Chains A and B, each alone.
Chain A
């Protein structure tokens, strides 16, 4: 008897996140204008654009740290709206890494990483701590597990923050300018961890100004300009065969 699989190969291209005609205003400022985009499993999408172009705001709407005014955002089949249940379910699947790390200063690195699994997934304390130590080892910080955030460098703090979001085993991780607050010599250690993650098949959406990272790791580049998604292109076409004058000017400023 033949068994019909509902998931044919083409269904592998079902997007994990769909944004349709998303609009957002802060008072008089129209910061997102009809933004539509899709994000696929296993893909690294890099979002670039000038400051104030709406790229961070767009990222923050994807786990509803900002509410969108109109349009539709669907994450893993669940629509983002005011229903609290949807929100908690989505936030468990969507990790977030912030520019300012936002580690919990009163907890050690290990406690930062194990807190959410213990509280949200009800993982037993010992099991959560074992898993947290494994994740800290993965980002190269096993020797710093019992330190508090203030005892760690910026790069180390950001790596703890990445481990913390991995602890919830999210389907996708959003990175909001993860290296912008770091001293130059610490940027590489964070980018290396992110590259490892990308190679392991993690779905990532990364807002960044690190163009070499975008070119090397990105599967797709989204360019934001004045609240609009101006262009969506693979890295080769975006960096080496750019026809748009506005984007050429932007790239000229960034890389020179």
Chain B
């Protein structure tokens, strides 16, 4: 879906259009979080009276996604670099992390952080929100690691050779030459992971985080009207994922200097 990118005047450059899309979509996301209660309040029973609750749930879902997403990118980058490290134990640690996280259910991971972690490490009792954030972030980080690693490996070896033969240090070569090129390659799968994360954040419901799905379930339980309630809940998720893909599409277009799309 190209949506926003195509509505700008034709004489605008690609960069202006992507900048406009990124700003408008980000503004829409913020506005939506602040003001979602207003349009919902106009809807009939059972949505209208519960508009404030829906708005609160939406905000929690978005914050949870943003915080876990940020943690996931940091962990993913670290794990990707560790997987490519020349020191075997570092590689093994990263492989172990990805193996365990991808091989176990996210639901179990969330429950583990909230219920089991305080017993494993006495004194560490995270709040329900923080537990969900840590579990989701660690989970998406394992998937991000693969995406980022593939991006780094896709940059031709000649790029590193050229940078090193100019006298750039290994760190400068990574920062100035390899990373910018691998980021462009890794971006689509990373966004995929964040969209999946937004939806998976609904699992935080099981440890009592009052996010969007939890709100939906509470309201349907109180009103006995599951059809409109879950349709509204799903509709809000759909708006959020659409805005996310719009932003990422614009970033992709901005990085695509060869204009292949």
Contacts and interface: CB of A to CB of B under 8 A. Distances in A.
Interface of A: 63, 65, 88, 91-92, 94-96, 98, 100, 102-106, 115-116, 119-120, 148, 150, 161, 164-165, 168
B176 to A, nearest CB: 6
Given A91-B167, A148-B257, A168-B166, A105 B161 contact: no
Closest 8 CB pairs of A and B: A102-B162, A116-B166, A92-B167, A96-B165, A102-B158, A120-B167, A91-B167, A150-B258
B158 A116 contact: no
A98 B167 contact: no
B23 interface: no
Interface string B250-261: 000001011000
B74 interface: no
Contacts of B166: 91, 95, 115-116, 120, 164-165, 168
Interface residues of B, number: 21
B167 A168 contact: yes
B159 interface: yes
The interface centre, meaning the residue of B162, B169, B255 with most chain A CB atoms within 10 A of its CB, is B162
Interface of B: 156, 158-159, 161-169, 172, 176-177, 180-181, 184, 255, 257-258
B172 A95 contact: no
B161 A102 contact: yes
A201 B249 CA distance: 51
A161 B156 CA distance: 16
A238 to B, nearest CB: 28
A53 B182 CA distance: 35
A104 B162 contact: yes
Given A91-B165, A102-B158, A106-B184, A148 B258 contact: yes
A116 B167 contact: yes
Contacts of A92: 167
A119 B184 CA distance: 22
A165 B168 CA distance: 12
A65 B167 contact: no
Contacts of B184: 106
A88 B176 contact: no
A88 B165 CA distance: 9
B167 A88 contact: yes
A207 to B, nearest CB: 15
B159 A104 contact: yes
Given A106-B257, A148-B257, A168-B166, A115 B159 contact: no
Contacts of B258: 105, 148, 150
Contacts of B163: 104, 116
Contacts of B180: 106
A116 B156 CA distance: 19
Nearest to B158: A102
Nearest to A105: B181
